[in-house]
Amino acid sequence: MREVVFVDGVRTPFGRAGEKGMYWGTRADDLAVRALQGLIERNPELPLDRVDDVGIAATTQQGDQGLTLGRSVAILAGLPMTVPGYALDRMCAGAMTTTAMMSGAIGANQYDIAIAGGVEHMGRHPIGIGADPNPRFVAEKMVSPDALNMGMTAERLHDRFPQLTKERADRFGMLSQQKVQAAYDRGDIQPDLIPVAIKSTEGWGLATEDEGRRPETTMEGLASLKTPFRPHGRVSAGTASPLTDGSTMALLAGGDTAKELGMKAKMRMVGFAFAGVEPEVMGLGPVPSTEKALKRAGLTIDDIGLFELNEAFAVQVLSFLDAFGIDDEDARVNPWGGAIALGHPLAASGVRLMLQLARQFEQRPDVRYGLTAMCVGLGQGGSMIWENPHFNGKKGK
């Protein structure tokens, strides 16, 4: 297989979904356009006419989040008319899947350069709106009705694994908020944010930071929150990713093409895998997908020096850590926090994990391999293994 590299990745700041969120007056496709424009502006050495394809994922493909986003957004962002594009849906793993599919095409020597990303405007397009699930899904007991409610699937993880207590989940959620704020204070996250012009009743403004952060979160405060998915449940707003609007974009290329054009690689693709599990416990999905990806790569979990795990729910990440014997507060896991604090704009989140890992690779030449992984609605998981081009051969502690 030909070498595939992650050249660069960017995203818009993530905003709270709904009328009070900063993107309420912004079109979904314009979020994607701005992210793609930002990616192009950051990479002036990229010959636009050599982009082979643009894949943009969205979970709810309707209205201003429809019309074959990869093609329409590419045109709006200024790519030549000769560049094709497509849209894709794998719910939360949309951008991860477009990245995987583009990487596969590059690795098979069919593409040289591709752009992969995702967008989700959950304020304008709530998950599942307008969908008509086949009644046989439930009537014939293929899946439980709970499987269509992501919060209930998280509660079921607590049910299935009693060691995944509410206290553990609350602590994980609190630490995510603290780690994100610490990363902001160090200036680690801001370099990959593309400012977005926004309009509200107060006039025009500029979105420059993620809107949903709550660094003041405490264990006492989390203990007092309601559990909306079940009376006396264990999943609360403090241990779940908030409804979020935002877009992400990644630039991928063959290793030889990147060298030809003078583009430096931030990561090298090692491999990827997707897997299915019972929809009722969809949060377990990243366990078999990671096992599959590791096996194909000839690696073990101990070879992974950094983990970027999507925090759809705290209990979901904890179930992954328990499966692989990793401590809740292992320094390798989400060192800059995650979706509980930053937000999870569904189809966009996969690339957010990647660009965050790429930045950490720059700071950690002692780490050779990193993993981005996430659970996916209707019982799936996705995992991608990356190699650090800055690795100096001296493993850290």
Q: Single out the catalytic residue among 92, 121, 125, 158.
A: 92
Q: What pTM was computed for the model? A: 0.96
Distance CA 213, CA 189 (A): 13
**Does the structure show a pLDDT above 70 at 251?**
yes
Contact 351/251 with Cβ under 8 angstroms?
Answer: no
Q: Is 158 a catalytic residue?
A: no
Q: How confident is the model at residue 397 (pLDDT cuts 50, 70, 90)?
A: very low
pLDDT digits (tens, 9 = 90+) for 178-200: 999 999 999 999 999 999 999 98
Q: Single out the catalytic residue among 121, 125, 158, 375.
A: 375
Q: Single out the catalytic residue among 121, 158, 344, 390.
A: 344
Domains and CATH numbers, the chain: 4-122+242-386 (3.40.47.10)
Strand, helix or coil at 208? coil
Q: Which residue has the tokens 């967008």?
A: 119
pLDDT digits (tens, 9 = 90+) for 278-316: 999 999 999 999 999 999 999 999 999 999 999 999 999
Helices and strands per DSSP (H, E), number in the chain? 12, 12
pLDDT digits (tens, 9 = 90+) for 308-352: 999 999 999 999 999 999 999 999 999 999 999 999 999 999 999
Distance CA 22, CA 287 (A): 35
Q: Is 121 a catalytic residue?
A: no
- Top pLDDT among 394 and 231 is at 231
- Rounded to the nearest 5 degrees, what angle is found at the Cα of 309, between the Cα atoms of 337 and 175? 30
Strand, helix or coil at 30? helix
Distance CA 243, CA 211 (A): 11
